[in-house]
A and B are shown apart, each in its own frame.
Chain A
Amino acid sequence: MATDTGLESLIDQTISVITNDGRNIVGVLKGFDQATNLILDESHERVYSTKAGVEQVVLGLHIIRGDNIGVVGELDEELDSNLDLSALRAHPLKAVQH
């Protein structure tokens, strides 16, 4: 295959996952498989709302099933530290409608 498609390059990095039910989970990628099942360590959920800033909820160690995964983003730590989450207002993402 021309270029790698897997998530190898993201192992041990902080990633931001958007799940099919519209949640945004940030954590360290520890593993994955063919089905895009993920192991996320030290994870927390970022809960968006229009009434208050982003709330972070600690989740810990998770296995997320591939079926439930939409996007896996590499979190740019510098960009992220420059974000003022407490000032961000947004609707939570919609759930995926297949």
Chain B
Amino acid sequence: MLPLSLLKTAQGHPMLVELKNGETYNGHLVNCDTWMNIHLREVICTSKDGDRFWRMPECYIRGNTIKYLRVPDEVIDKVQEETVKRSDRKPTIGGRGRGRGRAEDGVGRGRGGEGGRGGRGYQEDGAAGGRGGARGSGGARGGGRSGGGRGGASRGRSQ
């Protein structure tokens, strides 16, 4: 599975992005491209030391400034679903060329999570957690928990 396919699949989901300068951005992924440039909405930015916060309705982040992205656990299952669907209907007409080629033969394994829960889209169903940093940023609108399940302690929330 390609990292950028996972990122693409994460559209509409909450995520946490840490930049090389240490700032973190929590928001919902609107779009991304092959350079890993990303567009987030409903963003909370946290300073490197985790003591200052800024809310912004949206932001763009240049891919090469990113250190890592944290995405909700269930997103990885959706990528596999898509791959399965894709290989089901054989002739992919004008597929968008990004070498998804490698057959994910390991599909069935792992994580007996819920199956396809249908539409993803822009449900605002959570906020990504922060590595200790993002606790208690003022008044982010109602976020449930992200991911559920494993996360435990380090899953911050923004409320």
Interface size on A, residues (CB 8 A): 24
Instruction: Give the residue of B4, B73, B76, B154 whose beta carbon is less than 8 angstroms from that of A37.
Output: B4
Task: Say yes or no: B68 contacts A61, CB within 8 Å.
Answer: no
Instruction: Give the residue of A12, A19, A39 whose beta carbon is less than 8 angstroms from that of B6.
Output: A39
What does DSSP make chain A's interface, helix, strand, loop or mixed? strand
Instruction: Give the residue of B72, B106, B150, B154 whose beta carbon is less than 8 angstroms from that of A42.
Output: B150
Task: Say yes or no: A59 contacts B106, CB within 8 Å.
Answer: no
Complex: chain A residue closest to B7, CB-CB: A63
Query: B67 — which chain A residues lie within 8 A by C-beta?
Result: 19, 21, 64-65, 67-68
The answer for the CA separation of A12 and B73 in the assembled complex, in Å, is 16
Q: Does B20 reach chain A (CB closer than 8 Å)? A: yes
Given pairs A59-B131, A65-B63, 14 additional interface contacts (CB within 8 A): A19-B68, A21-B67, A30-B76, A31-B3, A31-B6, A37-B4, A39-B1, A41-B76, A58-B152, A59-B70, A60-B72, A61-B71, A64-B67, A65-B36
